[in-house]
Structure 1
Amino acid sequence: MKAIQLNRFGGPEVLEAVDLPTPVPQAGEVLIRVHAAGINFFEVLMRANRYAVTPQLPMIPGVEAAGVVEAVGQGVDAQLLGRRVAAPLCISQRPHSGYAEQVTMSADLVVPLPDSLSFEAATALMVQGLTALHLLRQSPPDGKAVLVPAASGGVGSLLVQLAGLKGARYVTAAAGGKAKLDLCLSRGADAAVDYTNPDWPAQVRNVTDGKGVDIIYDTVGGALTAASLQALAPGGELVFAALGRFGLAASDLEAMIGRNQSLRGFALLPLLSADVLKASLSELFQMAASGRLQVTIGGRFPLDQAGEAHRLLDERRSTGKVVLIP
């Protein structure tokens, strides 16, 4: 089978197309023919060795895939053959390997896909959909004004919609450029501000009648975090979900204390037991299949163009979900 392998750290060009033996499903596993594999920004950081965790090389990146079961291992119900499924590899024994034509995974962890849900949409609802859903479960938006930075991205575009569906009083989206702002508004944001403008936090305060927002869902980190604090209301909450990109200084934290503001950390994987993951994905899949949740696919690339797909994310030119099509 064809796969994309990372043998050394560096730019997008280090992602190499290789031929590998087709994996064999072991007892309790299924073999899935991949129809779509998702790309996440943390994989871009990992490729360049800029992530919080350094992976062991060589590796096949990719923590999410969707496709059709084409073989089963010992002890697995043969009725799974031919089923359309999602493979959330992020919680499997082999948490990477999605950038490939075929993957194996425990049959107990695959999640059936509704017939009307595309494989591409399914990839967007795994890591990114689960992140958005559980951010809102950790810090419910009901009745509150919220800010979503990077709101045109994979997580952000889902957060904007889910926050509205879960009762947010006012959703402000922050993104860069008119096209991205228009996308945010089309996904239900009440207001959209361009965070390439230096005074964007003041614009957020303006659209909230000078009060600021009650919750910031920060999945970006870096310098954007400190800037966004200028838009946080007294007593508000910053939910930080950008592992490895925490850039607040002690003075920022002291200022938050003086304004009775709180900082809450968020890490997805510790929240995901197998049962919670499967129930959460089923909820997201049904919402998307029914049309209540819109998935934005911002780029489709053949498997051997994984480097170009990474470049799109690295240069922050993407909107929504970027996928590989083996």
Structure 2
Amino acid sequence: MKAVEYRSFGGPEVLELIDMPKPVPVHGEVLVRVGAIGLNFFEVLMRQDRYAATPDLPLVPGVEVAGIVEALGEGVKTPAVGTRVAVPMFAFGRGAGGCAEYVAIDADALAPIPDDVSLEVATALMIQGLTALHLVRKSNPRGKTVLVTAAAGGVGSLLVQLAKQAGAKTVIALAGGSEKVAFARALGADLPIDYQVADWQAALGQHLARGQVETIYDMVGGPFTKSALGVLAQGGELVFGAMGRFELEAADVEQMLTGNQSLRGFALLPLLTPSSLTADLGDLFRRVGDGRLKVYVGGRFPLTQAAEAHRAMETRSTTGKIVLVP
């Protein structure tokens, strides 16, 4: 079968298409024919060796897959061959291996995909959908003015919608460029702001008094975090989930302390259990099925163009979810 692999860290060009043996499901496993592979920004960071953890090489990336059950290993009765399934490999200790035509995975690690949800959309509801869902649970936006970073991206586009559904008073959506600002507005954002303007905080200040943002959901990190603190209210909360890109210094944290502000870390994996994972994915699938949640697949690339897909995400030239299709 075909798979994507990299043997050294670097730019998108380190991704290579290789041939490797088709996996055989062992006891308790199923073989899934991959139909769509989700791409996430942390995988770009891993490829660059800029993530919080350095993976062993060589590596076949990919941690979220949607596909069709093709064969059952010994002892497995369900799901039946032909079932459409989500494969959240990241939640079951499989930190890689999804960028391939087939994967073998524990039968208990699968979630059925309803017929009214496409395989491509299902990939967006794993890491990114679960992240957005748990963000609004951990830091309830009800009645608050909240700010969502990268609002045209995979997590951000879902978070804008879920925050509104959870009762946020005002959802401020930061997005880069006029097209992405328009996209965020179409998602239901109350106040989309272009963070590429010279002083986006001043642009925000034309609509809100300084310090009215009660919660910032920051999945971007880097130097952006410090600039975002300038709009956070006294007693406000910064929810930070950009692993590997925390650049606040001691003076910034001290400033937060004097403002009675709080910094809440967010990591998805510790929040997941096998039972809650299935239930939460089912919740997200139902929201898509009944039209409450819109998922935008902004880029589809064949497996042979994995480098181009990484390059598009790395340059932030995409909107919504990026998928690879074998």
> Structures share a fold, TM > 0.5?
yes
Could you tell me which residue of structure 2 aligns to residue 181 of structure 1?
181
Report SS of the residue matched to 1:22. Answer: coil
Percent of counterpart pairs with the same letter? 57
Measured in 2, the distance between the counterparts of 1:79 and 1:307 equals 33
Structure 1 position 185, deviation (Å)? 0.4
Give the residue type in structure 2 aligned to 1:257: L
Quote the residue 2:59 is aligned against.
59
Matched, 1:90 2:73: no
By how many angstroms is 1:211 displaced? 4.1
| 2:201 aligned counterpart, secondary structure | helix
Number of the residue aligned with 2:263: 263
Q: CA deviation at 1:281?
A: 0.9
Question: Cα–Cα, structure 1 residues 79 and 281, in superposed 2: closer, same or farther, change >3 Å?
Answer: closer
Which residue identity is paired with 2:259? R
Shift of 1:252: 1.1
Q: Counterpart of 2:307? A: 307
Q: Equivalent residue for 2:150? A: 150
Q: Could you state the TM-score of these two structures normalised by the residue count of structure 1?
A: 0.98
* Alpha-carbon offset, residue 49 of structure 1: 0.8
Counterparts of 1:76 and 1:135, CA distance in 2: 35
SS of equivalent residue, structure 1 residue 134: helix
Distance 1:17 1:262, change over 3 A: same
Q: Find the counterpart in structure 2 of residue 293 from structure 1.
A: 293
- The TM-score, its normalising length taken from structure 2, stands at 0.98
Shift in Å, 1:204: 2.6
Shift of 1:175: 0.8
The alignment status of 1:71 with 2:89, answered yes or no, reads no
Provide the C-alpha distance between the structure 2 equivalents of 1:210 and 1:48, rounded to a whole number of angstroms.
Answer: 37
Task: Give the number of equivalent residue pairs.
Answer: 326
Give the CA deviation at 1:290.
1.3
- What is the root-mean-square deviation in Å for CA atoms of aligned residues? 1.0
Matching residue's letter, 1:202: A
* Corresponding residue number in structure 2 for 1:140: 140
| Matches of 1:149 and 1:290, distance apart in 2 | 26
How many angstroms apart in 1 are the aligned matches of 2:76 and 2:204? 53
User: Retained in 2: the 8 A contact 1:92–1:105?
Assistant: no
Task: Say whether the 8 Å CA contact 1:205–1:212 is kept in structure 2.
Answer: no
User: Corresponding residue for 1:242?
Assistant: 242
Alignment partners' CA distance in 2, 1:314 and 1:210: 32
Q: What's the CA shift for 1:79?
A: 5.3
Alpha-carbon spacing, 1:155–1:272, altered in 2? closer, same or farther (3 Å): same
Matches within 5 A, 1:10-21: 10-21=10-21
Q: CA deviation at 1:85?
A: 0.5
Q: For 2:27, give the aligned amino acid.
A: A
Q: Is the 8 A contact 1:61 1:96 kept in 2?
A: yes
User: How far apart are the structure 2 equivalents of 1:202 and 1:235?
Assistant: 21
Cα distance in 2, alignment partners of residues 131 and 34 from structure 1: 23
Please report how far the alpha carbon of residue 78 of structure 1 lies from its aligned counterpart in structure 2 after TM superposition. Answer: 5.4
Question: Which deviates more from structure 2 when the two are superposed, residues 87-96 or residues 222-231?
Answer: 87-96
Matches within 5 A, 1:96-245: 96-245=96-245
- 1:22 aligns with 22
CA contact (8 A) 2:210 2:231 kept: no
Alpha-carbon distance in structure 2 between the residues aligned to 1:88 and 1:211: 39
Match of 1:50 in 2: 50
What does the per-residue CA deviation read over 1:212-232, in whole Å, with 9 as the maximum and x for residues that have no partner? Answer: 211000000011100111111
Find the aligned partners of 2:242 and 2:205 in 1 and give their Cα distance.
23
1:252 partner SS: helix
Query: Contact 1:146 / 1:215 at 8 angstroms: preserved in 2?
Result: yes
> What whole-Å deviation, never above 9, does each CA across 1:207-265 have from its counterpart, x for those lacking one?
23444211000000011100111111111000000011001111111111111111000
**Which sections of structure 2, spanning at least 5 residues, go unmatched?**
none
Q: Distance in 1 between matches of 2:95 and 2:108?
A: 15
Measured in 2, the distance between the counterparts of 1:48 and 1:257 equals 34
Distance 1:162 1:39 in 2: 21
Opposite residue 217 of structure 2, the aligned amino acid is: Y
Residue 265 of structure 2 corresponds to residue 276 of structure 1: no
Q: Match for residue 38 of structure 1?
A: 38
